[in-house]
Amino acid sequence: MTSKQLRRAVEALDSFAIETPSWGFADTGTRFGKFFQDAAAIDLNDKLADAGHVNALTGCCPTVAVHVLWDFKPGQDPKAVARLARKHGVKIGSINPNLFQDQCYKWGSFSHNDAAVRQHALQHCFDSIAIGKAVGSEYVSMWFADGTNYPGQGDLRARKHWFEECLKALHQKLGPKQTLLVEYKPFEPAFYATDIADWGMAYVHAKKAGKRAKVLVDTGHHYAAQNIEQIVAFLLDEEMLGGFHFNDRRYADDDLTLGSIDPYQIFRIFHEIHSFATERRAPEIAYMIDQSHNEKPKIEATIQTVVMAQELYAKAALVDHDALRKAQAKNNVVDAELTLKRAFFTDVSPALQAWRKANKLPADPLAAHRTSGYERAAAADRRRRRKELGLKQGGSYA
């Protein structure tokens, strides 16, 4: 690694932050069952403590995404939650409303054919936006389970129109510093027609909602053969890319640790972002993790993802854009491809070590976690509290 590469990689690391999810520290798992962990968080205090621990070890996870129904009790003071987060060395990040858990959402939320249900969903979102304003959150992140399972079950165009109306109403409630993120997913739990099934639908809905609505790309929410970096490049060029939910997947929404299946894909996504920055300006993007681990220890999995994200982001910063553009101008396919691969295969560990040393962080965050005794102490404390609270293994007091 040359001194120039070292400097570029360290500069990239200085600008990179990624948000951890509160639900990633609790006993969440697959659609079919959960394998409980003694050290899993019981309540919001535990989740924020775990997130603060990860941030203290990695130095790049200053915010925590929260799920309104899971993290905020009725009548709870949001500002008290913000103070609790600061106590643990983090801030509340994106606000995630829940539009899939209540029984009234059986036939949809924003696309339900009953206006009363749509209003119920909207009110929950309005309340979530108010919580976001109180805690200083800049992002309201929207994912919908809405869709149909059988042909003819619903009026597809009517459902689209109801979505447009609700998203516009939601946008009008945003604070001046808040952004509405519209996420998409091709299938599950709807298996015939998901109401926001791809980036194009999300793009149209966001454009119609208002100027502060953008598209959120979940790296797991794509069919296996889709070119995610092309989607990213398109959204960047349209200035409609608002954020990411990072994970990895073999088939679909598998919630695997980042880079465990295809690190080169994440590198290519980061390359498109760096490339855009060299031509225009650094885009404002919310980098977030969306993972719920059922087998790996929660904190270890989160650290793995964070460290991998830092490594791939640093590698992507090393692409020689001048050389790449020259090769592209000559239609030199081999040299263009090799330009990317040289950066991908560059060992950026010297830059990571330099950056961590400069920020007084552990040289190896995962090893530091394992020797800290944090997980062992958390497991003992949480076993005791579950017993005192009369909670079954895996129960949540949040």
Task: Point out which residues pair with 369 in neighbouring strands.
Answer: none
Q: CA-CA distance, 46 to 22, in Å (whole number)?
A: 9
Report pLDDT digits (tens) over 239-296: 999 999 999 999 888 889 999 999 999 999 999 999 999 999 899 999 999 999 989 9
* 398 found inside a domain: no
Q: What is the CATH number of the domain that holds 244?
A: 3.20.20.150
Q: Residues near 153 by Cβ (< 8 Å), separated by ≥ 6?
A: 192
* 238 found inside a domain: yes
* 116 found inside a domain: yes
Q: DSSP letter at 392?
A: P
User: Which residues does the chain have with pLDDT short of 70?
Assistant: 29-30, 393-398
Look at the chain and report how many structural domains it folds into: 1
* 396 found inside a domain: no
Q: DSSP letter at 90?
A: -
Q: CA-CA distance, 258 to 227, in Å (whole number)?
A: 17
Helix axes 374-389, 298-316, angle to 10 degrees: 140
Which pTM value belongs to this model? 0.95
* 394 found inside a domain: no
- pLDDT of 394: 56
* 397 found inside a domain: no
- pLDDT of 398: 43
**Hey, what's the torsion of the CAs at 323, 248, 189, 172, to 10 degrees?**
-60
Helix (H) or strand (E) holding 326: helix 321-329
* 383 found inside a domain: yes
* 223 found inside a domain: yes
Domain hosting residue 106, numbered range: 3-389
Q: Residues near 36 by Cβ (< 8 Å), separated by ≥ 6?
A: 27, 393, 394
Neighbours of 216 (CB within 10 A): 29
- pLDDT of 28: 80
